[in-house]
A = this chain, B = another copy of it.
Amino acid sequence: MKKFEEKTLNTNKIFEGKIINLQVDEVELPDGKIAKREIVKHPGAVAVIALTTENKIVMVEQYRKPLERSLLEIPAGKLEPGEKPELSVVRELEEETGYAAGKLEHLISFYTSPGFADELIHLYIATDLQKVEHPLSGDEDEFVELEEVTLEQAIKYVEEKRIYDAKTVYAVLYLQLKMGMN
């Protein structure tokens, strides 16, 4: 998986933030020419398809500043330094929804924007949900609203672009496939 490798000649660190870092790498292309690559470094994230005992999908509505609008998404959050995805997803699910999962399975992981960012999302599916009595509270600068939706509603929200992000449209498609709704 090193085909067409681009060797780093030097790295210019532009920005170190709370969520992301930015660097510009000067690289040597396979034909010997030089090019620049703008690279966003991200710690990675987890996301979870959480299904209630009534087979509803637990979603959160959240304002997304880069888009200047709110989206309805499956619960997700970035990995803390050194945190394992399977622990992170338990924490995020409890913080954002107040649920604990009786059963938790890793479904798939994928890079969201491999052209300019190294963010890898680990997607899980959680079932046998139970409300936690005194759930962990989330980040104090995060405002989210819970909504439990049927798959039919979720498909409609995709059409209406209320659901509009990669991990959540993937989740909806996965459930359609799993429940034989083709």
A87 at the interface (CB under 8 A from B): no
Chain B: which residue is nearest A168 at the CB level?
B110
- Contacts of A116 on B, CB cut-off 8 Å? 19-20, 40, 42, 66
Give Cα A182–Cα B4 distance, bound, in whole angstroms: 35
- Contacts of A109 on B, CB cut-off 8 Å? 161, 164
> How many chain copies?
2
Instruction: Indicate if the CB atoms of A110 and B166 lie closer than 8 Å.
Output: yes
Instruction: Indicate if the CB atoms of B36 and A6 lie closer than 8 Å.
Output: no
Q: Can you offer 11 A-B residue contacts whose CB atoms are under 8 A?
A: A1-B70, A1-B162, A4-B70, A5-B63, A15-B15, A42-B116, A67-B118, A73-B114, A108-B169, A109-B161, A117-B117
